[in-house]
Amino acid sequence: MTVPRRMWLLGVLGAIAAAVGAATFFASRKPNADPSPTEIDAGPEPGGPWFVDVTRDAGIDFVHFDPTTDSHFIQETMGSGVGWIDYDADGWPDLFCIQDAPVRSSGPPPTTNRLYRNNRDGTFTDVTEKARLARTGFGQGCAVGDFDNDGFDDLVVTYMGGLALYRNNGNGTFTDITAAARLTNPHWGTSCAWGDIDGDGFLDLYVCNYVEVDIDRYPRCARDGKLFVCPPTSFPHVRHRLFRNNGNGTFTDVTVPSGIADAPPAPGLGVVATDLDGDGRLDLFVANDLKAQYLFHNQGGGRFVEKGLLSGVGLGPAGQPVSGMGVEAFDADGTGRPSLFVTNFYNQPNVLFRNRGKMRFLEAATETGLAGRRDRLGFGAVVLDANLDGRPDLAVANGHLHRDAAEVYRAPYAQRAQLFVGTGPGSFRDASDRIGAYFREPRVGRGLAWADFDNDGKPDLVFSHVGGPPAVLHNRTETTNNWLGLELVGDGKRSNRNAIGARIEVRTASGVQVRFVNGGGSYLSASERRQLIGLGGDRVARVTVRWPSGREQVYEEVPGRRWWRLTEGAADPTALPIAGR
């Protein structure tokens, strides 16, 4: 078969870039160091964000199992995610924690995944057994979505060598319907995302797969006689999976007919479903580890074309593959278009692909201030407006892969999380040193998700860590800024009930903010889907929603400082009967 010259050239360039990327995986140059404790002011900046770790007081007693051994298997490095799910539909986000397991079975299994019900007073109760979610295994990621449009969010959990779909029964319990739903993924699943890819009103499921590992034929990577974690380029890769929702409780694997299988196999770690070109169809952006990123452009009818390299998001700023872990899609520069943020490996900058329209992107992390510090290895990432000033902020979980990173990479294993505060359209600065004690304490961070768990109008955070408890951070920012909370409900016919794919435009005297209801995002984790919009000193003049069905609705003079439900087809918003502490 004759290979077109352009594709041959792209392949050569990709191979060269992969070699360069693999080399940077092992880079050991000492980058800029953290400030000393004496350089850090313990207090918040005036009007700046402030977070307090309330994990213990909230009753969250989950502890992640650390599978680390002297063998340094790549599986040991991944950690597990966390997810917010309002499983009882009472308007108060509940917390789901995913548990890991030993790479080789030995001794009693660790504790199971855990579900904590929100008690509406700042505390949580473990309801795992009652909800029928107890399961051991090598747990990885989760995604929350109402796949059957019955008004109750369902849960999918990825495992190494498996996948589980839990249908929410609407009575506080779940049923594992994986087999009945015909969902099969025997590979190492990581992040996953719900999204209606064919516009039929039902959520479909994309699952990232990482690498194929044979423990009995495991490669050994060493430096100066010391074993360390092999990079993903040392293992065979496998295609990701796309499952179409049949609308009757079952799914069909459409990886091949959808065009997903046309992309070369790659180690996937993060995925976000969002409409990148404003054509009303959900596209898929996938962060791959040391392989070109995927951008699956939705052609309609459930078909995709992979355009990562052609659109400018396939490789990093220097033309090398990105060690893509966590992903986010948001309006980073005030253009009303979703740009793409990707966390990266130690000694490499974070990446921001700025959306220039018409599926063209330009890398702009350095000029926007989101490149971050090179002495960090980033995983989970979420966008939030921490101080409600009307500008997006971005939080990142950090932590190295290797327990002996100080010797092998000259890098710390435990690392500090970061919060980049928005200072204007396309402008951010790292404010981590003055937003609370958690951000000054090194942790081995992995998953990250946000929710307003106490419904006080300020976004809270939860981080997952390798071998330790999660950190539930309560937002205690002192501010008089206004805010608007929106819960979108699609009609369940032309639009999915979760309204994934909707575009929200909020107009105030200061200008316009644009938000997107995305599927997936971050790393192995699920944030709440409700939209919490900071307004600064303004009040809302108009809210415009373009639903996944294409219908557009305008809501005039929606009052701030409370949560509202916007239901597709209903003329007026409904005030939600919830109020925080």
Amino acid in the structure at residue 564: W
Report how far apart, in Å, the C-alpha atoms of 76 and of each of 107, 189, 466 are.
17, 14, 9
pLDDT score of 410: 85
Q: Map 348-379 to HEC letters.
A: CCCEEEEECCCCCEEECHHHHCCCCCCCCCEE
Across 307-313, average pLDDT: 98
pLDDT score of 206: 98
**pLDDT tens digits for range 95-146:** 999 999 998 876 666 789 999 999 999 999 999 999 999 999 999 999 999 9
pLDDT score of 32: 47
Across 488-498, average pLDDT: 97
Amino acid in the structure at residue 294: Y
pLDDT score of 109: 67
pLDDT over 60 (residue 35): no
Amino acid in the structure at residue 91: G
Alpha helices in 451-518 (DSSP H): none
Across 459-486, average pLDDT: 97
Across 209-221, average pLDDT: 93
pLDDT over 50 (residue 478): yes
pLDDT score of 235: 97
pLDDT score of 18: 40
Q: What is the DSSP letter of 215?
A: G
Across 220-231, average pLDDT: 86
**pLDDT tens digits for range 239-254:** 999 999 999 999 999 9
Whose tokens are 């459409």? That residue is 254
pLDDT score of 42: 61
Q: Specify burial of residue 43 (Cβ count, 10 A radius: 0-12, 13-18, 19+).
A: exposed
pLDDT over 60 (residue 298): yes
Between strands 563-567 and 482-489, the pairing is parallel
Across 557-580, average pLDDT: 92
pLDDT score of 150: 98
**pLDDT tens digits for range 259-276:** 999 999 999 999 999 999
**pLDDT tens digits for range 429-445:** 999 999 999 999 999 99
Residue 36's pLDDT band (cuts 50, 70, 90): very low
Residues 368/352, Cβ–Cβ less than 8 Å: yes
Of the two residues 6 and 56, the one the predictor is more confident about is: 56
Q: What is the DSSP string of 499-561?
A: -TT-EEEEEETTEEEEEE--EE-BSS-B---SEEEEEET----EEEEE-TTS-EEEEES--SS
Whose tokens are 């929350």? That residue is 144
Strand, helix or coil at 145?
strand
Across 394-404, average pLDDT: 94
Cβ neighbours of residue 391 closer than 8 Å, sequence gap 6 or more? 385, 421, 422, 423, 424, 534
Q: What is the DSSP string of 427-448?
A: EEEE-GGGS-GGGGS-B-EEEE
- Half-sphere exposure (CA, 13 Å, Cβ side) for 464? 38
Residues 369/425, Cβ–Cβ less than 8 Å: no
**pLDDT tens digits for range 404-418:** 888 877 899 999 999
Residue 5's pLDDT band (cuts 50, 70, 90): very low
* First vs last C-alpha separation in the chain: 67
Q: What's the mean pLDDT when you consider all of the chain?
A: 92
Residue 324's pLDDT band (cuts 50, 70, 90): very high
Residue 177's pLDDT band (cuts 50, 70, 90): very high
Amino acid in the structure at residue 51: F
Whose tokens are 């040991």? That residue is 76
Taking the C-alpha atoms of residue 96 and residue 62, their distance in angstroms, rounded to an integer, is 10
pLDDT score of 38: 41
pLDDT over 60 (residue 450): yes
The fraction of the chain above a pLDDT of 90, given in percent, is 84
pLDDT over 90 (residue 578): no
pLDDT over 50 (residue 448): yes
Strand ranges, E, within 292-403: 294-300, 303-306, 327-330, 339-342, 351-355, 361-363, 378-384, 393-398
- Most confident among 5-19, 245-259, 398-412 (mean pLDDT): 245-259
Whose tokens are 């452009």? That residue is 297
The fraction of the chain above a pLDDT of 70, given in percent, is 92
Taking the C-alpha atoms of residue 165 and residue 160, their distance in angstroms, rounded to an integer, is 15
Residue 11's pLDDT band (cuts 50, 70, 90): very low
Taking the C-alpha atoms of residue 350 and residue 328, their distance in angstroms, rounded to an integer, is 12
Q: What is the pTM of this model?
A: 0.93
pLDDT score of 110: 77
Cβ neighbours of residue 578 closer than 8 Å, sequence gap 6 or more? 91, 92, 455, 563
pLDDT score of 227: 86
Tokens representing residue 344 in the block:
């990266």
pLDDT score of 406: 86
CB atoms within 10 A of CB 193: 30
CB atoms within 10 A of CB 576: 16
